[in-house]
Amino acid sequence: MSIMLACVMEVDIVEFVVPVENNKSLFVWDIEAGITEASIYEGLHAVFSSFGPLYLLKVCPNAPLSTPGFYALIKFYSAVHARKAQQHTDGCSLFQNSPVKVRVSSKQMPHFLSSSRPLSHANCVALANHCLGFNGWTSDIITLRELPTDEEEEEGGGGPSHQQLKLGCLLQLSFPCHGVTTRGAALLQDSFTCTGPDVVLQKRRKLHRMVREKALIEAFSTVLLVLLGDGKVMVELRQMSEHLFEETAGLVQVRDWGQVEVQDQVMLFPAEEDEWKEEDLDLSVW
């Protein structure tokens, strides 16, 4: 019975969202000053990534009035992986001569950062590859096409014209070994001043890439990875309260919640830089 209970306690669920929970974040300090930041990063990554996929690893120098050296913030996707890493590394020398301290963070996140934010396209792919393998999942575009825009305005006198591009994408995400399939839909629109045919071509290519990536992000947002104690992974789907898209007459109909205006410098979501500003780091721990 105890063996069965131990296995149950090791089960964890990983979502494709930015991890903000305290029990997924570790602080490492007492890192020696005679090592370069690059070497510290490589050493920490080699050690802690062996326990599970990492969302973030950040190395910072100690405050000017403190003892020379470094500290690090490490974020896991899984609380189980973070706990195991803390237990097996605290008090160990790891990549240096003296032991380091590793603690679970007790930093209290602001309310506006506590809500779930979807992972970036790159992080979705990296997390899926790490947990399922490169052949563990596939994505296929069902429909990708240009949609009518609200308006098009042209400047008089043969000058530059104001144009809009709107693309819709419907994508299928499959996990063959688990018999699980889900879909994601996205709609993106770009308004820009056209100074030549090459500008339209560049904007269209950029929007094609972005709408495909956003559709994949939406598909991954429905996926739950169930990490079992024996190292196996199960794939489940989140129960959705309503359909996010539907196909009618061969066209993609996407709700406006997925529409964002795209400028020259655009991001689908806020930058996934660490939301813990260095000056706000609280080294209080459990």
| Each residue's pLDDT tens digit, 23-45 | 999 999 999 998 999 999 999 99
Token pair for 91: 């008090």
Q: What average pLDDT does range 96-125 have in this prediction?
A: 82
Size of the chain in residues = 286
Q: How confident is the model at residue 255 (pLDDT cuts 50, 70, 90)?
A: very low
Q: How confident is the model at residue 160 (pLDDT cuts 50, 70, 90)?
A: low
What is the predicted pLDDT for the residue at 158?
Answer: 54
Q: Which CATH architecture has domain 17-114?
A: 2-Layer Sandwich (3.30)
Q: How confident is the model at residue 189 (pLDDT cuts 50, 70, 90)?
A: confident
Residue 114 burial (10 A CB sphere; 0-12, 13-18, 19+) = exposed
Across the chain, what does the average pLDDT equal?
79
Comparing 161 with 89, the larger pLDDT belongs to: 89
How far apart are alpha carbons 120 and 18 in whole angstroms? Answer: 9
Max CA-CA distance within the chain?
A: 83
pTM: 0.77
pLDDT in tens, 114-123: 567 899 999 9
How far apart are alpha carbons 41 and 33 in whole angstroms? Answer: 13
CB of 43 within 8 A of CB of 125?
no
How far apart are alpha carbons 162 and 13 in whole angstroms? Answer: 47
Domain ranges of the chain: 17-114, 121-262
Res 125 pLDDT > 60: yes
Residue 72 burial (10 A CB sphere; 0-12, 13-18, 19+) = buried
